[in-house]
């Protein structure tokens, strides 16, 4: 299991926090994004290039553009599309934990 203890946690709830997340990702720094209950985090793990795990609620090392774009479009969230582009450009990958309602962007 990946260790997330030293990663900053930012709640996805307003433009200020989305800018903080964009800056973190732009500098290729890891970040955990806590998503609101209303956000749909369902993805096609295979199409998003995720590695398989024993836990069906956890998708790891997914392609950021495919994964975040899918989630952004499902939730009609343009700010998350910006994060997708920045994560892709920074060479980051994404973990999606549907049980804990969080997205982890890391190297």
Helix (H, G, I), strand (E, B), or coil: what is residue 27?
coil
Q: Where are the domains of the chain?
A: 21-32+42-106
pLDDT at 14: 75
pLDDT at 3: 77
Q: Using CA atoms, how far apart are residues 99 and 51, in angstroms rounded to an integer?
A: 17
Q: Using CA atoms, how far apart are residues 83 and 26, in angstroms rounded to an integer?
A: 9
Q: What is the pLDDT of residues 10-36, one digit of tens each?
A: 999 877 899 999 999 999 999 999 999
Q: What is the pLDDT of residues 42-82, one digit of tens each?
A: 999 999 999 988 999 999 999 999 999 999 999 999 999 99
Residue bearing tokens 């795990």: 53
């Amino acid at each position: 299991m990946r260790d997330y203890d030293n990663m900053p946690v930012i709640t996805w709830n307003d433009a200020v926090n989305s800018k903080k997340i964009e800056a973190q990702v732009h500098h290729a720094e890891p970040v955990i994004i806590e998503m609101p209950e209303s956000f749909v985090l369902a993805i096609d793990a295979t199409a998003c290039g995720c590695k398989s795990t024993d836990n069906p609620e956890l998708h790891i090392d997914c392609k950021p553009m495919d994964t975040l774009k899918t989630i952004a479009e499902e939730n009609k969230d343009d700010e998350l599309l910006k994060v997708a582009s920045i994560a892709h450009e920074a060479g980051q990958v994404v973990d999606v934990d549907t049980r804990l309602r969080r997205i982890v962007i890391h190297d």
